Amino acid sequence: MADIIRLHGVTFGYERHPAVHHLSGAVRTGSLTAVVGPNGAGKSTLLKGIMGLARPLEGRVELVGLKPAEVAYLPQQAEIDRGFPISVLDTVLLGHWRTIGTFGAVTAPLLARGRAALESVGLGDFERRAIASLSVGQFQRVLFARMLVQDARLILLDEPFSAIDDRTTVDLLRLVCHWHGEGRTVMVVSHDFDQVRAHFPEALLLAREPVAWGAAAEVLSPANLARARAMSEAWDEHAGRCHRGAAA
Amino acid sequence: MSLYDLLIQPFADYAFMRRALVGCLALAVGCGPVGVLLMLRRMSLMADAMSHAILPGAAVGFLWAGLSVPAMSLGGFAAGLLVALAAGGVARLTPLREDASFAAFYLISLAAGVLLVSARGNNVDLLHVLFGTILAVDDVSLIEMAGVASFSLVGLAVLYRPLVVECFDPGFLRSVGGGGSLAHYGFLVLVVVNLVAGFQALGTLMAVGLMMLPAAAARFWVRGLWALAALASTLALVSGYLGLLLSYHGSLPSGPSIVLTAGGVYAVSVLVGPCGGLRSRYFPGRHRAA
């Protein structure tokens, strides 16, 4: 199958320290990939880089035949003001942003799609509730409903199942698999190796450097995981310049 | 003293009281929603800093044209905007956080402003600039305040959606390319023009009073965004009205009277407001079944 993302020796980082170091490879259209690795391995940075929210220090990210409107991205929850006075339905309808923008009206069909999305994450009766009154799990369902509305071809989820109870995880994971079944490309940052082995055909193991990328079962071998742990501990505040080329 | 004497007569008898009341109405209309959004964006202290930042600009206008409303307003607007952009820029481009960078800029501006006014004016001028004189509001100032109120409402309507989303979920707005920083800077302009309008009435030290106190008080009574804005405007108007009466009957300076009244409204709200007020915390009543 054709590639949807190609990474050409890409390096992302902060203050010239690499967070993702010389990563090359491709994500195929319609694939379901888990991005795994220790804390600080560059998983979130990689997703931000693909979204264009982090600029590469070197190399480049190529989105193949993909418009920005066709990418949806769910960051870790930290950035969202959960106390903001906005209703569940309004939050979900924001998924139409690329259609409605700053001034466009939410027409009846768009409204219906928002309601259907809420229905399919099991929150049909919640549309008038303020988001401040939701539990963490319910709120995550709302964000998934917003992604449903976005109807994106590429979906990037950054630790969507952390701090979420089992039942919600099962429901949302089913939605992820459903997206995969519809031919959408999905990348999910996860810390749960068992979950990755059970549900994700492919995995990318990062420890700032790429450790392994391929079939999930092979990537998550004990040898690879041990290697990732060892690499993630090698942080040097005063590291010299890197002389590897972008193609490395 | 009859109720009429207490509540209405000062406005019936004196044109300057009527003007002051109309001025308060205009301020309340603009400051209510702007204050609510400032509060939701956690920029309350930033607004305070920006109101002080207006001073040197107003002082330059004063030095150039005397006590002229348009000159001082224009100067204040330019200075406020400059400081907002500079402080925002320092916060974005350096590791210094926004609050610290705003504090640095407003201290510099306040000191520069006081020096500039003292250089040529006298202490009365300085008091006027620092504490405002709503009782001396003339037609030009009234038109300016009313213009600012209209401009603010239209401006907020235009910026509404990106402003709200940027406040609630900035990451999402960035990911869909929603022009959040444009809305942010547009909003800063609205804050500055409202501060300049308030500066006429309440002075640079308290211009932010009618903006933040009613907004903070409203938070304890209602939850929805529009309800918050409407209630904040209403509370600002009520504070203006009661404050003017307090100042008239007690022969007190008008600006502090208005802001103190707004402070009283805020204190009552903190104590008994149903949405998170202290009474609902310590005497919540019997819990519900579900």
State residue B286's pLDDT score: 78
Would you list the domain boundaries of chain B? Answer: 3-282
In this predicted structure, the answer to whether residue B251 has a pLDDT above a threshold of 70 is yes
In this predicted structure, the answer to whether residue A223 has a pLDDT above a threshold of 80 is yes
Residues counted in chain A = 248
What's the pLDDT tens digit per position in A74-113?
888 667 888 899 999 999 999 999 889 888 899 999 999 9
Q: How are the residues of chain B apportioned to helix, strand and coil, as percentages rounded to the nearest 5?
A: 85, 0, 15
User: Which residues from chain B sit within 8 angstroms of residue A69, using beta carbons?
Assistant: 176
Of A84, A91, A98, the CB nearest to B176: A98
State residue B48's pLDDT score: 86
B200 pLDDT band, cuts 50/70/90, is confident
DSSP per-residue letters across A49-114: HHHTSS--SEEEEEESS--GGGEEEE--GGGS-TTS--BHHHHHHGGGHHHHTTT----HHHHHHH
What's the pLDDT tens digit per position in B51-71?
888 888 988 888 888 778 888
Q: Looking at per-residue confidence, does B31 or B171 come out higher?
A: B31
Amino acid identity of B109?
S
State residue A246's pLDDT score: 53
> What CATH homologous superfamily does B3-282 map to?
ABC transporter involved in vitamin B12 uptake, BtuC (1.10.3470.10)
Give the tokens for residue B103.
């504090």
A248 pLDDT band, cuts 50/70/90, is very low
> What is d(CA A174, CA B218) in angstroms, rounded to the nearest whole number?
42
Least confident of A72-81, A108-117, A229-238, B185-194: A229-238
Is the distance from CB of A157 to CB of A189 less than 8 angstroms?
A: yes
Average of pLDDT values for A45-74? 88
Q: Looking at per-residue confidence, does B139 or B133 come out higher?
A: B139
> What is d(CA A141, CA A124) in angstroms, rounded to the nearest whole number?
11
Tell me how close the Cα of B103 comes to any Cα of chain A, in angstroms.
24
Please tell me which residue of chain A has the smallest CA distance to B169: A80
Q: Looking at per-residue confidence, does B178 or B139 come out higher?
A: B139
> What is d(CA A224, CA A203) in angstroms, rounded to the nearest whole number?
12
Contacts 24+ apart (CB under 8 A), A129-135: A129/A87, A129/A88, A130/A85, A130/A86, A130/A87, A130/A88, A130/B223, A130/B224, A131/A82, A131/A84, A131/A86, A131/A87, A131/A88, A131/A91, A132/A82, A132/A83, A132/A84, A132/A85, A132/B223, A134/A88
A232 pLDDT band, cuts 50/70/90, is low
Flag if B164 and A86 touch (Cβ within 8 Å).
yes
Which of these, B193, B218, B217, B198, lies nearest to B208 by C-alpha position? B198
List, in sequence order, every beta strand (DSSP E) within A165-217: 185-189, 202-207, 209-215
Flag if B169 and A80 touch (Cβ within 8 Å).
yes
Residues counted in chain B = 290
Flag if A75 and B225 touch (Cβ within 8 Å).
no
Which residue has tokens 């990939």? A33
Average of pLDDT values for B161-166? 90
The yes/no answer to whether this complex scores an ipTM above 0.90 is: no
Please tell me which residue of chain B has the smallest CA distance to A90: B165
Domains detected in chain A: 1-66+153-161+186-236 (3.40.50.300), 74-152 (no CATH)
Least confident of A67-71, A102-106, A132-136, B249-253: A67-71
> What is d(CA A134, CA A121) in angstroms, rounded to the nearest whole number?
14
What's the pLDDT tens digit per position in A166-219?
999 999 999 999 999 999 999 999 988 999 999 999 999 998 888 899 999 899
B251: left (phi > 0), else alpha (psi -120 to 50), else beta?
A: left
What percentage of chain B reaches a pLDDT higher than 90?
42
Write down the mean pLDDT value for chain B.
88
Q: What is the DSSP letter of B257?
A: H
**Sheet of strand A3-14: strand arrangement:** A17-28, A3-14, A58-63
Note which residues in 4-43 of chain B have CB less than 8 A from chain A: 40
B194 pLDDT band, cuts 50/70/90, is very high
Average of pLDDT values for A150-156? 93
